[in-house]
Amino acid sequence: MSTTHQSATQGAESASYEPRTVRRAMLAGSVGTLIEYFDFSVYGYLAVVIAPQFFPSADPAASMLAALAVFATGLVVRPLGGVFFGWLGDRWGRRKALVSSVLCMGVASSITGLLPTYSQIGVTAAVLLLVTRLVQGISTGGESVGAYTYIYESAPPRRRAFLGAVTPIGSNLGFMLAAATAGAISALTTKDQMAEWGWRLPFLMAVPLTLFCLWARLRIEDTPEFEDAARKADIPAAPIREVLSTHRKALLQSIGLAMAQGGAIFLGLTYIGIYLSTNLGYDPTLVFWMTAGVVLFTVLLMVPAGWLAARFGCRRVLLLGLLGFLVTAYPAMVLMGRQSLALAGVAYLIFMLSSAFVQVPAASLWPHLFERRVRYTGMAIGYNIGTVLAGGTAPYIAAFLVQRTGNLLSPAFFVMLVCVIGIGALLTVREDV
């Protein structure tokens, strides 16, 4: 551990962490990621409905690929958002960055729900959809890493590994809420109603959700570490340059870990639903509800995963999770194709069990890799580059592999590859939380 990093840690140990302040920090961080992932993932769950509305084609596969490409572009711009919000968070405070990112996400999602379709304004509709996804992508570039940073710095050092579970709990509840909302609307509408206006409702839910998150985040103060640094005028003038010059190893480690987490989990949370309903022909409404149930079960595992991370170290638990994804990806997809939705649900659950043991320890390990001065920026760059390379692109890569190879099981090999990359990066991390 460097001297600077060590002194920062010692400063954190001596800081005062009032229980009320910690509780507010946990709420503000988790509710923001819930809204972020609800807004962002609902597009993936409704891609089957959205595709013909904005990208009509005689070939349904081509239409779906176009819709998933737009989903992926929302994550391609994440590093740009990460650079901006990282600079904002390291220079002007974590709180300002968190408020700004969730406001940006909420506005973009709300506008998506009001967009005209291809039948109304032609190709301009697809362009406008792309623009709103890009804005969402920019905001997500700062949201998750901002929440990781804020909760890590707001929690007492001895409880960071356990309380790190709060952020992934929020993000996964966002996925679950999106799936449940899509399932409820699908069940209450006809196919034509869903195509005409039903798909808009989840996006418009961003309005009340964003207002609630703003209320929670406007009540918090900045983290003890950042306030202490501000009093000492120990604020980086150029955090991006500092990250690139002094934290290259941590940057590469975070990219590798983000590729593994993003590739496996985004495929599980977004592509599997498309795979089950489109490729295997299961009822979409039942798939929505099954997805919500699977995600809820993984959320319930996150508290014990946090306890294990605090007890045995984040690296060991994270390694367990990555190995779990590695060995279950292929057999799980084999079981999904046995023409039984119940069996497919069991296979889906087996695959996603590893999610808790990856997301929870990673939430504390990522900010631990970087010194306080550039923590937000370093995480934002590394996490978002890794997510772009293998996370948000995972649904598109999976659909592309199936289309090009004709092998419905080919996405499993993609998951196995990113897990190997993540394990390699993890083995180079010497310090634990």
Q: Confidence band (pLDDT; 50, 70, 90) for 2? A: very low
pLDDT of residue 10: 45
pLDDT of residue 230: 84
Q: Confidence band (pLDDT; 50, 70, 90) for 245? A: very high
Instruction: Answer whether residue 1 shows pLDDT above 50.
Output: no
* 149 and 294 Cβ atoms separated by less than 8 Å: no
How big, in percent rounded to 5, are the helix, strand and coil portions of the chain?
A: 85, 0, 15
Rounded to a whole number, what is the distance in angstroms from the first to the last CA of the chain? Answer: 12
* 350 and 328 Cβ atoms separated by less than 8 Å: yes
Instruction: Answer whether residue 50 shows pLDDT above 80.
Output: yes
pLDDT digits over 15-42, tens only?
566 777 788 888 888 888 888 788 777 8
- Residue 14 is classified by DSSP as H
pLDDT of residue 16: 60
Q: Which has the higher per-residue pLDDT, 309 or 183?
A: 309
Q: For residue 278, give both structure tokens.
A: 């489109």
Instruction: Answer whether residue 318 shows pLDDT above 80.
Output: yes
Instruction: Answer whether residue 196 shows pLDDT above 50.
Output: yes
Average pLDDT of the residues in 56-77: 81
Domain positions in the chain? 15-426
Q: Confidence band (pLDDT; 50, 70, 90) for 356? A: very high
d(CA 329, CA 6): 39
pLDDT of residue 405: 92
pLDDT of residue 4: 42
pLDDT of residue 225: 85
pLDDT digits over 154-180, tens only?
888 888 889 888 989 988 888 888 888
pLDDT of residue 294: 92
Instruction: Answer whether residue 11 shows pLDDT above 50.
Output: no
pLDDT of residue 279: 85
Q: Confidence band (pLDDT; 50, 70, 90) for 60? A: confident
Q: Which residues contact 257 (CB under 8 A, 6 or more apart)?
A: 318, 362, 365, 366, 386, 422, 425, 426
* 433 and 308 Cβ atoms separated by less than 8 Å: no
pLDDT of residue 339: 80
Closest CA to 243 of 138, 363, 384, 430: 384
Instruction: Answer whether residue 108 shows pLDDT above 70.
Output: yes
pTM, full prediction:
0.84
d(CA 420, CA 414): 10
Instruction: Answer whether residue 251 shows pLDDT above 50.
Output: yes
- What CATH fold (topology level) applies to the domain 15-426? Growth Hormone; Chain: A; (1.20.1250)
Q: Confidence band (pLDDT; 50, 70, 90) for 182? A: confident
Average pLDDT of the residues in 43-57: 84
- Residue 276 is classified by DSSP as I
Q: Confidence band (pLDDT; 50, 70, 90) for 12? A: very low
Most confident of 133-137, 287-291, 375-379: 375-379
pLDDT digits over 394-433, tens only?
888 998 899 899 999 999 999 999 999 999 999 999 877 7
Q: pLDDT above 70 covers what percent of the chain?
A: 96
- Residue 158 is classified by DSSP as G
pLDDT of residue 3: 41
| DSSP per position, 359-418 | HHHHHHHHHHTS-GGGHHHHHHHHHHHHHHHHTTTHHHHHHHHHHHH--TTHHHHHHHHH
